[in-house]
Chains A and B, each alone.
Chain A
Amino acid sequence: MSNKKRLHPVAMLLSLLRYAREAALPLIFFVFVGGGSGYEWWHVIAIGALLLFTIGNGVLGWFFYTYQVENNELRIHQGFIFRKKRFIPRERIQSIDFSEGLIQRLFSLVKVQIETAGGGGEPEVVMSALRREDAELLRSELYDKRKPILDEEVEELENPKTFEYKLSWRELLIAASTSGGIGVVLSFVAAFASQVDDLLPDAFYESITERVMEATLPYVLLGVAFLLLVSWIFSVLGTVLKYGGFILTRMENDLIINRGILEKRQLTIPVHRIQAIRIVEGVLRQPFGYSVLYVESGGGGGKDEQFSTILFPLIKRKKVTEVLAEILPELAIHEEYTSLPVRARRRYFFRFCIPVLLPIGVISYFVPYGAMSILLLPISALIGYLHYRDAASGVKNDVALLQFRQIGRTRVYVSRKKIQSLEIETTFFQKRRQLATFKVSILSSFAGKQFRVKDLGRSHAEELLNWYSYRSNKRKDNEE
């Protein structure tokens, strides 16, 4: 393809909506607060000019945005005043994702996002509206031609699906109700409350404060419980909308994920781009034996998934090995690990107990009944113990396993070939107890990721270093 193509005209509408969303708050502020003494003629002109500018910007932006695939590169030209050209070689593309928001679905269009390994949370290319066939064409040009099609491979193409996995409604509901996204919703509510703060009349606040002051403790607790319930329901709804209709397919050398009810997304992850697998058992999920499975890959993943991609929103902890063996046989996961030595336990207790000592002291001194806060100490000790108990690491063949607790229990599998660098770290106190921290760095869409397990036995840490080292592997090969 050598001719330049434009996005679907709906892209103009989308950019307009995006501006509108960004401008909404300032505009509301402007209208309600700035125009306190009634509207004057220049307000109207200012808003009119802003509107005209935005529309003009959208139209010109659309007109001057072109893309083409040429010379094994995706070439994007954009900009009217500031011309920008972006050329991305095909080999550097990490992922191409399709998604359909409400507006895209209305016009049966797709939004295409293309990522390279370059850092930053944002995809390198976002095309907000393409016709589906154009998008498919673009993907096939950027993806499939990468490998030359040999005669043998054509046969395989006839039945390319080797594995498919659907998330059932029951699993979706369990995943949603235990997602712990409640915190996110609560903070959203708080942020929203602080935004509408200025808009409500003072009398409203006064009456509320009065009522709260009058209310007895049970009512306050009831109110809090109600707020939590509402946030939880929103969180469940959010998760269901996002992960509804989840289907994971292994197609030749790609993993393809389709998901979403309102906004449909399709993500494609080439298997050889997968850097690591992360399995997280959330606090609410662990008792039921459920976990979430993430993949770390060079591109893709948003902030809410910590720059990874969810491969299984919910999976029985026991089935992980079996399912992964089927869908990702390349990564031979295993259960071989060494837990921490007993001498590391003390350090974990200290790590969690010492930081709470100061607050406890302060609270005990200044707050009536503050001495009750001493109860934090056994809680911290328990958390410390759990962290100690769950930390482990091990290697088998070419795959390393790191297990540690963040809030939920996390297990990371990474193949030796995907580790960018490996480090063992010994502090003064660790040295005295013959302990070390084990750390691996992998590529991720956001400037690389580190995983670490603290306080391994020193000799075990050295074994891990040797496992990674070419030198010692060479020696082993020679001996065999």
Chain B
Amino acid sequence: MRLEPSKQIDPQGLKVWQITGGLVSLLAIALLCGLFVIHLMIVPIPLWTLVISCILALLFFLLQTWVLPRLRWSKWRYEVTEHEIELKYGVIVVKRTLIPMVRVQHVDTRQGPLLRAYRLSSVTISTAATTHEIPALSNDIADELRDRISVLARVAEEDV
């Protein structure tokens, strides 16, 4: 049995995912509000529909802010060695990806406003055919990783 990649992503990343999940579930809450508006202003809706909608919205909220981010975070693993990058992630679909260093075309770090607020960056690794992302690392680790991969990839230069 092959060893799993050893490194985990930054614990702060979990918070970012939870906030993102919260923002996504705002959509469900907005829908719910719409339903109440319809109920009060236009046409009365049977009570049980409203209750079920509330429960569904609550479940969605919990799933998005609590369960999924946690599972996702705990499953994420990566490892960068001199010759290859290995990723393992996914909750329902578990993906395990190998990218040889010779195939790396370029590496980016990037951050949106949320990631920036938590001093995190994501690292994006591009080959000639695919793009892969390590979603949340602390700025320092991300920068270091980017530079290291870039150097290693250049050392292993091989034309396609």
Contact = CB atoms under 8 A, between A and B. Distances in A.
A295 interface: no
A421 B130 contact: yes
A426 B93 contact: yes
Interface string A424-468: 111110010000000001111001111000000000001001101
Contact of B97 (A298, A421, A449): A421
B129 A431 contact: no
Contacts of B84: 469-471
A17 B65 CA distance: 60
A472 B2 contact: yes
Interface stretch (B10-18, B24-32, B43-51, B98-106): B98-106
B92 A421 contact: no
B1 A420 contact: no
B129 A441 contact: yes
Contacts of A421: 97-100, 103, 127, 129-130, 132
A210 B26 CA distance: 58
Interface string A414-428: 000101111111111
B83 A470 contact: yes
A47 to B, nearest CB: 48
B127 A441 contact: yes
Nearest to A426: B94
A449 B83 contact: no
Nearest to B1: A462
Contacts of A469: 2, 84, 86, 98
B39 interface: no
B141 to A, nearest CB: 22
A224 B97 CA distance: 50
Interface string A125-149: 0000000000000000000000000
B53 to A, nearest CB: 26
Nearest to A440: B129
A419 B130 CA distance: 11
A195 B95 CA distance: 47
A412 B16 CA distance: 41
Interface centre among A420, A442, A465 (most CB of B within 10 A): A420
Contact of A427 (B1, B92, B132): B92
Contacts of B92: 427-428
A420 B2 contact: no
Given A425-B93, A443-B160, A472-B2, A420 B98 contact: no
A91 interface: yes
B81 interface: yes
Nearest to B156: A470
B72 interface: no
Contacts of B130: 420-421, 441, 448
B116 interface: no
B83 A427 contact: no
A384 to B, nearest CB: 21
A91 B98 CA distance: 27
Contact of B103 (A420, A423, A449, A450): A420
B7 interface: no
B127 A423 contact: no
B128 interface: yes
Given A91-B159, A471-B81, A471-B84, A420 B94 contact: no
B94 A431 contact: yes
Contacts of A422: 97-98
A420 B129 contact: yes
B154 interface: no
A117 interface: yes
Nearest to B94: A426
Contacts of B1: 462
A449 B160 CA distance: 15
A466 B98 CA distance: 10
B97 A466 contact: no
Contacts of B98: 421-423, 465, 468-469
Contacts of A471: 81, 83-84
A109 B132 CA distance: 45
Contacts of B103: 419-421
Nearest to B103: A420
A241 to B, nearest CB: 33
A346 to B, nearest CB: 19
B86 to A, nearest CB: 8
A142 to B, nearest CB: 16
Nearest to A459: B1
Contacts of A117: 128, 160
Contacts of A431: 94
10 contacts: A420-B103, A420-B129, A421-B132, A423-B95, A423-B98, A450-B129, A462-B2, A468-B100, A469-B86, A472-B2
Going nearest first, the 10 A-B pairs with the smallest beta carbon separation are: A448-B129, A470-B83, A420-B127, A420-B129, A443-B128, A426-B94, A423-B97, A441-B129, A421-B99, A441-B130
Given A420-B103, A441-B127, 16 more contacts: A117-B128, A273-B160, A420-B128, A421-B97, A421-B100, A421-B132, A426-B95, A427-B93, A444-B129, A447-B129, A462-B2, A465-B2, A465-B98, A468-B98, A469-B84, A474-B83
Interface of B: 1-2, 81, 83-84, 86, 90, 92-100, 103, 127-130, 132, 158-160
